[in-house]
Amino acid sequence: MLDRFNAIKFVMLVSFVSSLVLALLYSTLINRVEENIRLDKKQSILRVIGINSSHLSSEEVNLKYKEHINEFVINTDGEIVDIPLSEIVWKENKSTGMTDYLYSKNMLQYLPLYKSKNPNGYIIPISGKGLWSTLKGYFAISEDKNTSLGIVFYSHKETPGLGGEVDKIWFQDQFKIDKGKKIFNKNGTLVSIIVNNRKNTDGKTHEVDGITGATVTSNGVTKFLKRDLERYKNFLIGQE
Amino acid sequence: MLRNKIFTDPLMDNNPITRQVLGICSALAVTVKVELAVVMSLAVIFVLTMSNVTISFLRKNIPHNVRIIVQLIIIASLVAMIDQILKAYMYSVTKELSVFIGLIITNCIVLGRADTFAMNNNVKNAFIDGLGNSFGYGLILILVAIFRECLGSGTIYGIPIIPKDLYDSGYIDNGLMLLAPGAFIVLGLIIWLQRTKTGYVEE
Q: Of all residues in chain A, what percent carry a pLDDT higher than 70? A: 98
pLDDT of residue A240: 47
For residue A158, the chain B residues in CB contact (below 8 A) are none
Rounded CA separation A147/A150 (Å):
9
Q: ∠ CA(B16), CA(B19), CA(B24), 5° rounding?
A: 55
Answer for the pair A104, A84: CB distance below 8 angstroms, yes or no: no
* Helix, strand and coil in chain A, % to nearest 5: 40, 25, 35
What distance, in Å, lies between the first and last C-alpha atoms of chain B?
A: 24
Domain count, chain A: 1
Surface of B (175-194) touching A: CB under 8 A = 180
**A160 near B CB under 8 A:** yes
For residue B73, the chain A residues in CB contact (below 8 A) are 11, 14-15, 18
Rounded CA separation B21/B194 (Å):
13
**B68 near A CB under 8 A:** no
Put simply, the answer to whether B89 touches A32 (Cβ < 8 Å) is yes
**B89 near A CB under 8 A:** yes
What number of other Cβ atoms are within 10 A of residue B170's Cβ?
6
pLDDT of residue A112: 93
To the nearest whole Å, the CA of A155 is away from the closest chain B CA by 9
**B70 near A CB under 8 A:** yes
Which position has the higher pLDDT, A29 or B26? Answer: A29
**B63 near A CB under 8 A:** yes
**A91 near B CB under 8 A:** no
Q: Of all residues in chain A, what percent carry a pLDDT higher than 90? A: 52
Answer for the pair A94, A128: CB distance below 8 angstroms, yes or no: no
Query: pLDDT tens-digit profile of A185-219?
Result: 888 888 899 998 887 878 888 999 999 889 999 99
Query: pLDDT tens-digit profile of A87-105?
Result: 888 999 888 889 999 998 8
**pLDDT-based confidence at A1, cuts 50/70/90?**
low
Tens-of-pLDDT digits for all 203 residues of chain B? 577 888 888 888 888 888 888 888 888 888 988 999 999 999 999 999 999 999 999 999 999 889 999 999 999 999 999 999 999 999 888 888 878 898 899 888 999 999 999 999 999 999 999 999 999 999 999 999 999 999 988 888 888 888 888 888 888 888 888 888 899 999 999 999 998 988 887 77
Kindly give the residue spans of alpha helices, DSSP state H, lying in chain B. Answer: 3-8, 24-29, 34-58, 67-89, 91-97, 108-116, 123-153, 164-168, 180-198
* Residue burial A62-77, b: 16+ Cβ < 10 Å; e: rest: eebbeebbeebbbbee
Question: Count of A–B CB contacts within 8 Å?
Answer: 62
The model's pTM is 0.82
Mean pLDDT for chain A? Answer: 89
What distance, in Å, lies between the first and last C-alpha atoms of chain A?
A: 78
Q: Which of B74, B85, B98 sits opposite A14 (nearest CB)?
A: B74
pLDDT of residue A42: 92
Q: Which residues pair with B156 in a beta bridge?
A: B159
pLDDT of residue A238: 66
Q: Which of A3, A33, A54 sits opposite B88 (nearest CB)?
A: A33
pLDDT of residue B71: 94
To the nearest whole Å, the CA of B11 is away from the closest chain A CA by 29
- In single-letter form, the type of residue at position B164 comes to K
- Axis-axis angle for helices A58-68, A2-48 (nearest 10): 50
User: What range defines the domain where residue A82 resides?
Assistant: 3-237
Which residues, in sequence order, are CB contacts of A208 under 8 Å at separation 6+?
A: A171, A174, A175, A179, A181, A193, A194, A195, A196, A201
Examine the pLDDT at A38 and tell me if it is beyond 60: yes
3 state DSSP class of B159: strand
To the nearest whole Å, the CA of A75 is away from the closest chain B CA by 33
Phi, psi of B47 (to 5 degrees): -65, -50
Which residue in B25, B64, B87, B105 has the most chain A C-beta atoms within 10 A of its own C-beta, making it the best mutation to test that interface? B87
Rounded CA separation B55/B115 (Å):
9
**B73 near A CB under 8 A:** yes
Put simply, the answer to whether B66 touches A10 (Cβ < 8 Å) is yes
For residue B85, the chain A residues in CB contact (below 8 A) are 25, 29
Nearest CA-CA partner of A163 in A221, A207, A94: A221
**pLDDT-based confidence at A17, cuts 50/70/90?**
very high
Nearest CA-CA partner of A79 in A39, A111, A114: A111
Nearest CA-CA partner of A197 in A171, A215, A222: A215
Query: pLDDT tens-digit profile of A42-63?
Result: 999 999 998 888 888 888 999 9
**pLDDT-based confidence at A220, cuts 50/70/90?**
very high
**A164 near B CB under 8 A:** yes
Rounded CA separation B38/B86 (Å):
13
To the nearest whole Å, the CA of B84 is away from the closest chain A CA by 7
Query: pLDDT tens-digit profile of B144-166?
Result: 999 999 998 888 888 888 888 88
pLDDT of residue A115: 93
Per-residue CA distances from B39 to A230, B86, B93, B112 (Å): 42, 9, 8, 22
Please give the average per-residue pLDDT across A209-232, as a whole number: 92
pLDDT of residue A140: 94
- In single-letter form, the type of residue at position B132 comes to G
Query: pLDDT tens-digit profile of A156-195?
Result: 888 877 888 898 888 999 999 888 899 998 888 888 999 9
Nearest CA in chain B to A23: B81
**A58 near B CB under 8 A:** no
Q: Which of B66, B85, B88 sits opposite A7 (nearest CB)?
A: B66
Using only the alpha carbons of chain B, give its radius of gyration: 18
Put simply, the answer to whether A11 touches B70 (Cβ < 8 Å) is yes
